[in-house]
Structure 1
Amino acid sequence: MVLLGVALVAFIALCVWFAVSVAGAPVARPRLERFARRHQLVVTATNGNQVIRYLATTRRWRATGLAAGLIASIGWSLAHGVFQVYFLVLFAGWFAGALIAEVRLAPAPFGPRRAASLVPRQPRAYLPRTVWALLPAAGAISLAVGAASAVGALARRPVGLGAAPLFAVAMLVFVVVRTVQHRVLHRPQPVAEPDVLAADDAIRSRSLHVLAGGGTTLVLYCVLGQLAALAPALPGAATEVIEVVNFLGIFAVPLLGWAVAVSPWPVRRSAGPASA
C-alpha cells in the first residue's frame, strides 16, 4: 500500500511536470503556420504576437486539463483496484482546459483610444452553418433519449440508473459550451489595422470550431451512455440496434469532433466602419 501511494504521488508529480513543461515551451513555427493555413491568414509583424499569445494560452490550459484528466482517471481506477486510463476522462479534462482558456482569453489589444467595432458578428462568418448547429442537434438527441427514458421509467420498465445522470451531464455540457461559444462570438473587437482584425477573426473562428467539435463529442458520448441505459427497457430488436450504434459511435463520435475542430475555414465577415 505504501509503495502504491509513493507511485501515485510520483505519477501526479510527473503529470504536473508535463503540464508545466508544455505550458512553458515556445510556440513552434509549424504550429503557427498550420493555424495561418487553416484560416488563410497572412501573419505579419503586427499580428504575429497576437496569434502566438492565443496558441500559447490555449495550449497551456489544454495541457493542464489533460494532466488533470489523467490524474483523475488513474486515481479513479486505482480506487477501484485496477490500473486503467479512461479516454473519456482524459478528453473531458482536455476540453475543460480548452473552455477555461477561452474564458480567460483577452480580446485583441485596443489602441490609445478605446473603441470597439459595432459590425454585427454572425456565426456563419466563422464556421459553417452545419458546424454551428451540431451542438444543439446533439443536445436535442440527448433530450429525446432522456424523454424516452423518463417514459420508460414511469412505465416501470428496467431503465438503467445511469440514464438521469448522463442526461444531466449532457445538458450541463450543452449549456456551458453554448454560453462560451456566444462569449467568443461577441467578444469585443477593437477598431484596428486590417491584419490585426484578420488575426482576431481567425482566432475567433478556431475557438468556435474547437468548442463545437469538443462539446458535440462530449454530449454524444453521454447520448451513447443514455442509449445503453435505455436498452433494457426496449424490445430485443431495438436493443440490437443500440448495441450497433454504440459500437460504431465509440469510434465515430471522436472522429467527428476531431474533424470539426481541425477543419479549415477562411473568415467571411463583411467589414464596416462603425465603432463605439
Structure 2
Amino acid sequence: MLNRFVFMFAGAVLGAVLLTIVASATTAPVTLVRTRRFARRQELLVTSSNGPLVVRALAVTHRWRVLGLTTGLVLGVLWALRDARLTISFSAGFLGWFVGAVVAEWRLAGLPVEGGRRTASLTRRTVRGYLRMDSTVLLALACLALAGLVVAVVVRSHGDGAVMAQAAAWLLVAALGLGALWATLLRVVSRPQPGSSAELVAADDALRARSANVLAGSAIVAAGYPAASLLTLMADPASTDSVSAWGAASLTCLVATVVVGWLVAVRRSPVRTRPAADVVATSPGVAP
C-alpha cells in the first residue's frame, strides 16, 4: 500500500513538471531561429507582409504538438500507475504528438489573414503538389508493407483465431489512422487561401507543404507500431530462438520507421507546383 502511494505521489510530481513544461512551451513566442529554419526548409522569403501569417501558423502547430505530446506522456504515466509502476511511455507520447499535429492542421484553417480575406484559389491544389516525391513513395511503401505483414501473419497463423483477431485489430487501427491522415491532408490542401498578395500566397503554400510532409513522416512512424506488433505475431511461441529473432526484427522495424519518418518530416519541402504568378523570385530567408 505504501509503495502504491509513493508511486502515485511520484507520478503526480512528474505530471506537474510536464504540465509546467507545456505551459511555458505553449506560451513562449516563436523565435527567429525557428522562423529562419522554416524559411530555409521551405525555400521561402519571410517578409513583413507574410511574416505574421508564418509566425501565427508556427505558434499554432508548436502549441498543439507540445500539448499533445505532454498529454500522451501524462496519460501513459497514469496508466502505468494502475499497476504500481512508474514508467514513461514513448508510444503514448508519440500518439499524443500525432493527435496534436492533426488538430493543429484543422486549427490552421481558421487563422485570420491580415491584409485581405481568405478567398478560393483559381488554381487547383492537390496533395501531390505539396508532398515531396520521396514522401509519397515512402508512405505508400509503408502502407503496402503493413498490408503485406497482415497477410503474412494470417497465413502463418494456420487458422489460429487469437492471432488472426490481433492481426485484424492492428489492420483496423492502421486503417483508422490512415483515414485520419488522408482527411487531414485534404483539409490542408483545400482550406481557403489568402489572395491579396503573391507573398502571402507563397507563405501559405509553404505552410501547406510543411504540414503535408510532417504528416506523411508522422504516418510512417505511426505505421511502425502496428508493423512491429505484427512481426512479433510471426514468432513461434514454442521456440525461444523464433521469439528472439522476430523480437529483434520488430525492434529493428520500429527504429527504422522512426528514423525514416523523422527524415521525411524535417527535409526541405518546397512546393512542387506553384503558378508562376505566385512565386516570389527571391532567396529564402527572413527579410530585414
Do both share a fold (TM > 0.5)?
yes
2:59 aligned partner, one-letter code:
A
**Does the 8 Å contact 2:131/2:272 carry over to 1?**
no
C-alpha distance in 1 between matches for 2:128 and 2:57: 22
Preserved CA contact (<8 Å) 2:7 2:84: no
Structure 1 stretches lacking a partner, 5+ long: none
| SS at structure 2 position matched to 1:81 | coil
Change beyond 3 A, Cα 1:251–1:113: closer
Q: Distance in 2 between matches of 1:119 and 1:110?
A: 22
Shift of 1:97: 0.6
Alpha carbons of 1:114 and 1:208: their partners in 2 closer, same or farther (altered >3 Å)? closer
Given the alignment, which residue of 111, 132, 136 partners 2:136? Answer: 132
For residues 239 and 151 of structure 2, the distance between their equivalents in structure 1, rounded to whole angstroms, comes to: 17
Name the CA distance, whole Å, in 1 between partners of 2:239 and 2:162. Answer: 11
Identity of aligned residues (%): 34
Say if 2:206 and 2:271, in contact at 8 Å, map to a contact too.
yes
Is 1:7 the counterpart of 2:23? The answer is: no
Q: What letter corresponds to residue 58 of structure 2 in structure 1?
A: L
Q: 1:184 to 1:261 in 2, by over 3 A?
A: same
Whole-angstrom distance in 2 between the partners of 1:181 and 1:113: 23
- The corresponding residue for 1:218 is 222
CA contact (8 A) 1:73 1:86 kept: yes
- Preserved CA contact (<8 Å) 2:227 2:250: no
Alignment of 1:122-201 (within 5 A): 122-153=126-157, 155-156=159-160, 159=163, 162-201=166-205
The 5 Å alignment of 1:81-160 reads 81-106=84-109, 109=113, 115-153=119-157, 155-156=159-160, 159=163
- For the residues of structure 2 that align with 1:268 and 1:142, how far apart are their CA atoms? 28
Tell me which of 34, 38, 42 is aligned to 1:35.
38
Q: CA RMSD in A?
A: 2.9
- Partner of residue 235, structure 2: 231
Measured in 2, the distance between the counterparts of 1:256 and 1:138 equals 10
Corresponding position of 1:18: 21
Indicate the SS of the match to 1:232.
coil
CA 1:115–1:77: 2 relative to 1, 3 Å: closer
Number of aligned positions between the proteins:
274
Distance 2:217 2:196 in 1: 30
What pairs with 1:71-90 in structure 2 (closer than 5 Å)?
Answer: 71-90=74-93
Counterpart code for 2:20: W
Q: Work out whether residues 135 and 174 of structure 1, in 8 Å CA contact, stay in contact via their aligned partners in 2.
A: no
Query: Measured at CA, do residues 133 and 183 of structure 1 come closer, stay the same or move farther in structure 2, by a change above 3 Å?
Result: farther
Tell me the secondary structure at the aligned position of residue 210 of structure 1: helix
1:56 maps to 2:63: no
Deviation at 1:177, TM superposition (A): 0.8
CA distance in 2, matches of 1:261, 1:189: 23
Match in the other structure for 1:257: 261
Partners of 1:227 and 1:242 within 8 A in 2: yes
Q: Structure 1 stretches (4+) deviating beyond 6 angstroms?
A: 233-241
- For the Cα contact (< 8 Å) 1:109–1:190, is it kept in 2? yes
Q: CA deviation at 1:253?
A: 1.2
Contact 1:136 1:174 (C-alpha < 8 Å) held by counterparts: no
Deviates more, 1:83-92 or 1:32-41: 83-92
Cα distance in structure 1, aligned partners of 2:274 and 2:258 = 33
Structure 1 CA distance, aligned partners of 2:87 and 2:245? 29
The residue type equivalent to 1:101 in the other structure is A
For 2:192, the aligned partner's letter is P
Q: Residue 112 and residue 24 in structure 1: after superposition, are their counterparts in 2 closer, same or farther (change >3 A)?
A: closer
